[in-house]
Amino acid sequence: MDEEEEMGLSLWMLTCDYSVPPNRYNDKSKGGTQTHIFHLSIGECAVTLEDVAIILDLPMDGLSVTGMTMSSFDALEEECLYQFGVALRKSDCRGSCIKLTWIRDLKERLQLTDENSIQRYVKCHIMLLIGTILFGDKSGTFVHWKFLSLLRDFGSIRQYS
């Protein structure tokens, strides 16, 4: 009888197997499969950000996502004009958040005729992902505009963790 059984504790084990791609910077790396094992007491579960990153195959070695939060409508309007080429109306936002319907409508109206319009389309799509899947609010109808500044330099977007 092990120590947990003697103390009257019951543990469950959750195993997560995931494939590891070969390291392109190390010729000796062949890839393979790694396993994370979580020992959980009944009714509890602690999954770390590292576990989520491994399961979803997200990079963890890029630039961190940080920045200032501003609540000025004028600054928000200016940022939308710069990023999307369209000024935001006060009715399309609440505090520091933009209505997802405004972004969806903008995305649907875009004519993909040149590089700028394609980048605006991709920025709209990223903001929709952030506002619905990654950092959605309780209502599911708004996205915080602090993420817009991360999309300013289109070429560096892929560097973020």
In the chain, what are the domain boundaries?
A: 3-55, 73-159
The pair phi, psi for residue 13, each rounded to 5°, is -120, 130
pLDDT for 41:
57
Read off the pLDDT of residues 111-154 as tens digits, 9 standing for 90 and up.
999 999 999 999 999 999 989 888 877 788 999 888 888 888 88
Distance CA 134, CA 52 (A): 12
Residue-level length of the chain: 161
Q: How far is CA 131 from the centre of its chain?
A: 9
The pair phi, psi for residue 58, each rounded to 5°, is -95, 140
Q: What percent of the chain has pLDDT over 90?
A: 27
Provide the total of helices (H) and of strands (E) in the chain, helices listed first: 5, 5
SS3 101: helix
Q: Is the pLDDT of residue 6 over 60?
A: no
Give the pTM.
0.61
Read off the pLDDT of residues 79-103 as tens digits, 9 standing for 90 and up.
899 999 998 899 998 888 899 999 9
Q: What percent of the chain has pLDDT over 70?
A: 63
pLDDT for 22:
56
Q: How far is CA 78 from the centre of its chain?
A: 24
Cross-strand bridge partners of residue 15: 37
* Angle, in degrees to the nearest 10, between helices 115-129 and 100-109: 150
First to last CA, the chain: 44
